[in-house]
Chains A and B, each alone.
Chain A
Amino acid sequence: MFHDALLVARKDLIIERRAHVVLGQVSPLGLLILVVFGFAFDANVELLRLGSAGLFWVAVLFTGLLLVQRTFDVETEDGNLDALRLSGFLPQSIFLGKVIGLIVQLFLLELG
């Protein structure tokens, strides 16, 4: 099960490395959310300092939602979900692989 999950995660990460969706679309969104919060609080440094951790996680949540959408779009394109089901992978392996791929991408995003 873990072998298959790691295969799915590896495949998703290679797709992201080739397509640069995280770099080109998701990271700018995260950055934009943080900038918009900055404007919303009118550059109130004290308020931003108090709420920065929460605002950061709100940005992570929004970008995470985008990543979840993206990772399942990849499978609906060209009927790939059927191929994945016919690969003999258990449904839980596919799910676990997707989760691992997403966690790695989110971690890299947060580091950025």
Chain B
Amino acid sequence: MPSVVDFSGVIALRGQYPVLAGLDLCIEQGEIVLLRGPNGAGKTSLLRACSGLLSIASGKASVLGYDLLASNQEVRKHIGFVAHQNHLYSDLWVRDQLRFRALAARAHDGDIRSICDRMEIPQRLLQLPTESLSAGQQRRVAIAAVALRRPRLWLLDEPHAGLDSEGRDLLDSLLQDAAKAGATIVFASHEINRAETIATRSISILGGQAVGGTNVS
């Protein structure tokens, strides 16, 4: 299996503070990797570095074959990032929101219907402003918007937050199907019991470094 994420001695700074401090990591295609660690360990920074949103100061960093030190633009087209924030425009209707994301990803209205069915987003919600949705509904729309891009690498930061039990099952099933189709999933979670049911490998992050990894299933 080819490496999707290949980091060696990666250092990333926020101001003067090293949020990634010589991190070594290798993730292969099709893996579902759980990042675990206390608050401030560097999980979110690692996800942002993989997405090209956080610049890397030094080291060797390759994602999907793109050298992040040379350019972090190209890799972004192939990445789906579900962050703490939902990345939704509060004034847009849900339908407008998903259509914008679909057009940006060269997807079609049929794809919108399909992902709404998959995430059990009812048709009536499509005609509502995003800000009028509950936190859990907004999370489902955010995940649907990312899924529309058909990313090769999924990066998720606490993806289960705000979702009800049914929504969590839907998300887990979506991620497992994406991995079966050849995508790679990297996600950070504090809900270890649930996260370990879908993860194939677990990596501990501490002080901006990967300090240990175990195969889960």
Which positions in A face B, CB cutoff 8 Å? 4, 7, 10-11, 14-15, 18-19, 74, 77-80, 82-83, 85-90
Cβ–Cβ contact B53 & A18, under 8 A? no
Known pairs A18-B92, A83-B87; list 12 more (Cβ under 8 Å).
A14-B92, A15-B89, A15-B91, A77-B89, A77-B90, A78-B88, A79-B87, A82-B81, A83-B81, A85-B53, A86-B51, A87-B101
A11 to B104, CA, bound (A): 11
Cβ–Cβ contact B85 & A78, under 8 A? yes
Minimal Cβ-Cβ distance residue in B for A78? B85
Minimal Cβ-Cβ distance residue in A for B130? A78
Asked if B77 is at the interface of the complex by the 8 Å CB criterion, the answer is yes
Minimal Cβ-Cβ distance residue in A for B80? A86
Cβ–Cβ contact A78 & B90, under 8 A? yes
Which positions in B face A, CB cutoff 8 Å? 51-53, 73, 76-77, 79-81, 83-93, 96, 100-101, 103-105, 129, 145
Q: How far is the CB of B121 from chain A (nearest CB, A)?
A: 18
A85 to B87, CA, bound (A): 11
A79 to B92, CA, bound (A): 15
A32 to B29, CA, bound (A): 60
Q: Which chain B positions have C-beta within 8 A of A11? A: 89, 92, 96, 100
Cβ–Cβ contact A86 & B76, under 8 A? yes
A86 to B87, CA, bound (A): 11
Q: Which chain A positions have C-beta within 8 A of B96? A: 11, 14, 18
Cβ–Cβ contact A88 & B104, under 8 A? yes
Cβ–Cβ contact B87 & A78, under 8 A? yes
Q: Which chain B positions have C-beta within 8 A of A15? A: 89, 91-92
Cβ–Cβ contact B76 & A74, under 8 A? no
Q: Which chain A positions have C-beta within 8 A of B100? A: 7, 10-11
Task: Report which of A14, A74, A82 forms a contact with B83, defined as CB distance below 8 A.
Answer: A82
Cβ–Cβ contact A89 & B87, under 8 A? no
A80 to B84, CA, bound (A): 12
A10 to B104, CA, bound (A): 12
Q: How far is the CB of B44 from chain A (nearest CB, A)?
A: 12
A79 to B103, CA, bound (A): 20
Q: How far is the CB of B7 from chain A (nearest CB, A)?
A: 19
Q: Which chain A positions have C-beta within 8 A of B52? A: 86
Task: Report which of A7, A14, A79, A90 forms a contact with B104, defined as CB distance below 8 A.
Answer: A7
25 intermolecular pairs with C-beta atoms under 8 Å apart? A10-B100, A11-B92, A15-B92, A19-B91, A74-B89, A74-B91, A78-B86, A78-B87, A78-B88, A79-B83, A79-B84, A79-B86, A79-B87, A82-B83, A82-B85, A83-B81, A83-B87, A85-B53, A85-B76, A86-B52, A86-B53, A86-B79, A86-B81, A88-B105, A90-B73
